[in-house]
Amino acid sequence: MNNYNYFDTFNNTFLPPQMSNYDNYNTMNYMLFGPYEGYIKGNMFRNLYEQYKNYQPAPITPMNEQEEALLNLNQFQFAMHELNLYLDVFPNDANMMNQFVTFRNNYNKLLSEYENKYGALNINSTSLNSIPFGWSSTPWPWNRREK
């Protein structure tokens, strides 16, 4: 198991080790999907998810460690976005705010780990504070597969 393998086979969700207890999501009043399941279904809220006919979301299988790290970032970013939309409508929901903060903290941790290993993803990354400017000395994202 590598550092980015957060796949929880029992629940089919990618989760950081400190969040591997899936019960945290199921005990909430809103019955959230885990970050991975919500990501592939396009909806974090079990009570709002309506499956389209017999469609089954295909599992996402990363081809390497870097793709797995990006999948983990994407699913937490999606979860944060979903909860952000919810909190726009229900700003006083303390349970959802706590869950949002948990997702954000995990996203920031995974982002830092990713950028330390593979380079910056955003222009506001602290990994670009060096000279020469970080993006001029590393391969562009579309050239990184050519290794």
pLDDT tens profile 80-138: 999 999 999 999 999 999 999 999 999 999 999 998 888 788 777 776 776 666 656 66
Average pLDDT of the residues in 20-37:
61
Q: DSSP code of 13?
A: E
What is the pLDDT confidence band of residue 8, given thresholds at 50, 70 and 90?
very low
pLDDT of residue 6: 43
Report angle CA 74, 36, 11 to the nearest 5 degrees.
Answer: 160
Distance CA(34)–CA(13), nearest Å, equals: 6
Q: What is the pTM of this model?
A: 0.71
pLDDT in tens, 30-41: 578 889 989 998
Show the tokens assigned to 68.
């797995």
Burial of 27 per CB tally in 10 Å (0-12, 13-18, 19+) = exposed
The residues pairing with 13 across neighbouring beta strands, listed in sequence order, are 8
> Which candidate, 39, 62, 42, 64, places its Cα nearest to that of 51?
42
CA distances (Å), 134 to each of 47, 66, 69, 123, 139, in order? 44, 18, 20, 10, 10
Higher pLDDT, 4 or 127: 127
Q: For position 107, what pLDDT does the model report?
A: 94
Q: Comparing C-alpha atoms, which of 68, 66, 74, 65 is closest to residue 103?
A: 74
pLDDT at 131: 62
Q: What is the pLDDT of residue 49?
A: 79
pLDDT (average), residues 40-68: 86
